[in-house]
Homo-oligomer: A and B are copies of this chain.
Amino acid sequence: MVHVEAARRRRLEPDTRREQILSVAIRLFGEKPYAEVSTTDVARIAGVARGLVNHYFGTKKDLYLEVVRVMLTVPSVAVERLAEGEPHQRADAMVNWFLDVVSRHSTSWLAAISAGGIAGDTDVDAVISEAVDVAADGVLAAFGLGDQPPEALRGMARSYVGLAIYTGREWLQRGALNRDQVHTLLTTTLLTMVDQVFPQAR
């Protein structure tokens, strides 16, 4: 006779348990949109009572914010290494780096990006906006505009990042563009913006 264990309750280190639940949440939110993932699902798959999820992460949205944060956390590159050579080379290197990162984590990246607002949700927007800020500052730094940039300049850089994001989706999600096309589009526009647009925001 098979011995059916009554799934005894196990007690883990808070950090361990927290991370375990988080990994389950990352997987689920990567598969289905926010509304279609219930904390009950997360708890059940993690083999845990639903109350525990709330205990560790507070509200469901808090958990989701944590997930998006992780998904958008990108191996921060040594930006200094990009800030070398001709402008054309810098743009090329930066775009390549972006495309590498994005294509490597494509599914989770797409999920996180298209989380752009739980229909305008303030908190989620803030998290994404922060990630965009980091990327934009990276762009500016690569062209030696990194220290104390005026707000307008940062706005323009963020716009460019927005273009990169949108074009990335066009490549990875829609499949309307291939990597080469995305590459030319992004390098070309980046160079024109650095040359002709950025100077307008002194």
Contact = CB atoms under 8 A, between A and B. Distances in A.
Contacts of A163: 159-160, 162-163, 166, 189
A200 interface: yes
A167 B159 contact: yes
A170 B185 CA distance: 21
A131 interface: no
A117 B114 CA distance: 6
A200 B176 contact: no
A130 interface: no
Contacts of A98: none
Contacts of A118: 33-35, 118-119
B116 A114 contact: yes
Contact of A158 (B64, B124, B159, B166): B166
A48 to B, nearest CB: 23
B152 A181 contact: yes
A114 B125 contact: yes
A193 interface: yes
B156 A162 contact: no
Interface in A118-141: 118-122, 124-125
A197 B184 CA distance: 7
A192 interface: yes
Given A154-B176, A156-B170, A162-B166, 9 more contacts: A33-B120, A118-B119, A156-B181, A156-B185, A158-B166, A158-B174, A163-B166, A184-B197, A184-B200
6 contacts: A34-B121, A35-B118, A158-B174, A162-B167, A166-B166, A188-B192
